[in-house]
Amino acid sequence: MIGNRPKIVVLGAGYAGMMTTKRLTQQFAPEEADITLVNKHNYHYQTTWLHEVAAGTIDVNRSRIMISDVINTRRVNFVHDTVVKINKEAKTVQLENGEISYDYLVIGLGFEKATFGIPGMEEHAFSIQSVDTSRMIRDHIEYQFARYRNQKNPDPSMLTIVVGGAGFTGIEFLGELAERIPLLCKKYDIPRQDVKIIDVEAMPTILPGFDEELLSYAKESLEYRGIEFKLGTMIKEVKADSVVVGEDEEEIKAGTIVWTGGVQANRIVGESGFELTKGKVNVDATLLAPGHDEVFILGDCAWVMNNETGKPYPPTAQIAIQEADVCAHNIKTMIYGGTLQEFKFDDKGTVASLGGSDAMGTVFDGNKLYGMQAKVMKNVIDDRYLFLLGGPMLVLKKGKFRPF
Ligand SMILES: Cc1cc2nc3c(=O)[nH]c(=O)nc-3n(C[C@H](O)[C@H](O)[C@H](O)COP(=O)(O)OP(=O)(O)OC[C@H]3O[C@@H](n4cnc5c(N)ncnc54)[C@H](O)[C@@H]3O)c2cc1C
């Protein structure tokens, strides 16, 4: 503590970190607590929009928000630095450019790609993980078009894009590609049929866990716009310019390979000695790390058990945002006394964008939405987050209030 003030440190300015910081500033008066937020960029980005950045259907700047525009930096000590390690016993965080100590720590460092040991995946496949990695995918795809156009006898596989995984991120990315590729074809005078977009998924279905009708709708919509699916097909190996798939080890030559098939907690968490289960930390219902009554772990770094299903909640922004409320409340309770709150997910529904004005999903009590209706709802969900974070001005500046 500094004087009598507890020192609260939040690591990562993603959904979990930003909303926790926001809630902490609302719950504590300036003289009650020192709040520090550490992030490796001076901006916060909308991870849920990164597939659009990666496909090039929105500008990078649309997806990012300067932290100082939404967090009162006279109230919060914002440290623009990269976390290297957490020293749990000493209660310090090692940064690239220094060290900070804490009384209460909130870890919201997000995800990184999980490759499940598939040879070559780490080296040769892109992943939609941050603004930087997404921008690289966008530029790489366009570069392949430019190269193809400028070679005498171009290799047609230059224009093949293989996407690994047909979960939420994979499907949303394919939807954006279905919109973006015809524009690139026009720009570079390339016939659309010269471009192949192939999704490879180990499960026999896309979007495992989704309602059958919804996923059939999504698959048909994407197939209609030229996406090919290889379902029930494992990726065996990724090479610099090809992907080896299936029992017969078919080799698909491709100019762009993007892996969306798995995420795990930021490696800093495991490297700092927190015990991992399937790549994440099993926190208790109050979001505390096991054995550490001063460390909360939120968002994609944590598994929180859903007691009704006996399975952990999936990694979503919606959950990360709701966890932030419980975390801020519990830090206040630990300081002033009372009963810690347990996390209970209030499911407001899930909508997946399919590109352009198409989408599908469920809202509130399981109502199914398709097409433009679903897209409007998706935009409402995105705008609601912006409103929670930065009020109406942020919605006006960055919001998706138009359906397309
Ligand atoms: C393309 C895509 C689409 C998605 N769509 C949806 C959707 O429609 N709905 C939904 O609910 N969920 C969706 N998700 C999932 C959702 O984005 C994640 O569950 C959510 O981002 C998790 O929030 P978080 O706060 O844990 O991590 P993040 O939002 O990833 O934030 C982590 C933060 O930590 C920072 N950071 C990382 N490492 C360091 C370091 N070493 N030092 C300092 N800072 C660091 C990062 O810069 C980042 O700001 C989608 C995910 C993707 C990739």
The pLDDT value recorded for residue 366 is 80
- Whether 7-40+81-113+263-346 and 121-205+212-259 share one fold: the answer is yes
**CATH code assigned to 7-40+81-113+263-346:** 3.50.50.100
- To test the pocket of ligand 1, the residue of 316, 351, 400 to mutate (highest count of ligand atoms within 8 Å of its CB) is 316
Per-residue model confidence as pLDDT tens digits over 10-50: 999 999 999 999 999 999 999 999 999 999 999 999 999 99
> Could you give the maximum distance between any two Cα atoms of the chain, in Å?
74
Looking at per-residue pLDDT, the higher value among 237 and 2 belongs to: 237
Instruction: State if residue 86 touches ligand 1 by the CB under 6 angstroms criterion.
Output: no
Residue range 138-176, pLDDT digits in tens:
999 999 999 999 999 999 999 999 999 999 999 999 999
- Cα(165) to centroid of ligand 1, in Å? 18
CA 388/CA 205 separation, integer angstroms: 35
pLDDT (average), residues 113-119: 95
Distance 320 CA to ligand 1 centre (A): 9
Query: 121-205+212-259 maps to which CATH number?
Result: 3.50.50.60
Q: What CA–CA distance (Å, rounded) separates 48 from 381?
A: 11
Residue nearest to atom 48 of ligand 1 (CA): 14
> Tell me: the pLDDT tens digits for 269-289?
999 999 999 999 999 999 999
Chain centroid, CA 190 distance in Å: 32
In the chain, where the domains are located: 7-40+81-113+263-346, 121-205+212-259
Pairing of strands 302-303, 281-282: parallel
Determine whether the shortest distance from the Cβ of 317 to ligand 1 is under 6 A.
Answer: yes
Read off the pLDDT band of 2 (50, 70, 90).
low
> Per-residue confidence at 209, pLDDT binned at 50, 70, 90?
confident
**Residue minimizing CA distance to atom 37 of ligand 1:** 109
Q: Catalytic residue numbers? A: 172
pLDDT of res. 1: 56
Residue 380 has pLDDT above 60, yes or no: yes
| Mean pLDDT for the stretch of residues 196-203 | 97
CB-ligand 1 contact for 164 (6 Å cutoff)? no
The answer to whether residues 127 and 260 touch, using CB atoms and an 8 Å cutoff, is yes
Give yes or no for residue 87 having a pLDDT over 70.
yes
Give the pLDDT confidence score for residue 404 in this predicted structure. 44
Q: Residue 403: pLDDT band by 50, 70, 90 thresholds?
A: very low
Q: Ligand 1 within 6 A of 299 CB?
A: yes
Rounded mean pLDDT, 391-402: 86
What CA–CA distance (Å, rounded) separates 3 from 330? Answer: 22
**What integer best gives the mean pLDDT of the chain?**
95
Compute the CA torsion angle 24, 26, 29, 34 (nearest 10 deg): 20
Q: Residues 173, 128: contact at Cβ < 8 Å?
A: yes
Q: How far is the CA of 197 from the centre of ligand 1 (A)?
A: 26
Structure tokens at 48: 């849920």
Ligand 1: does its nearest atom lie under 6 Å from the Cβ of 48? Answer: yes
Tell me which range, 9-23, 204-218, 373-387, is most confidently predicted by mean pLDDT. 9-23
Q: Is 14:47 a contact under the CB 8 Å cutoff?
A: yes
Does any ligand 1 atom lie closer than 6 A to the CB of residue 316? yes
For residue 364, give both structure tokens.
Answer: 């509130």
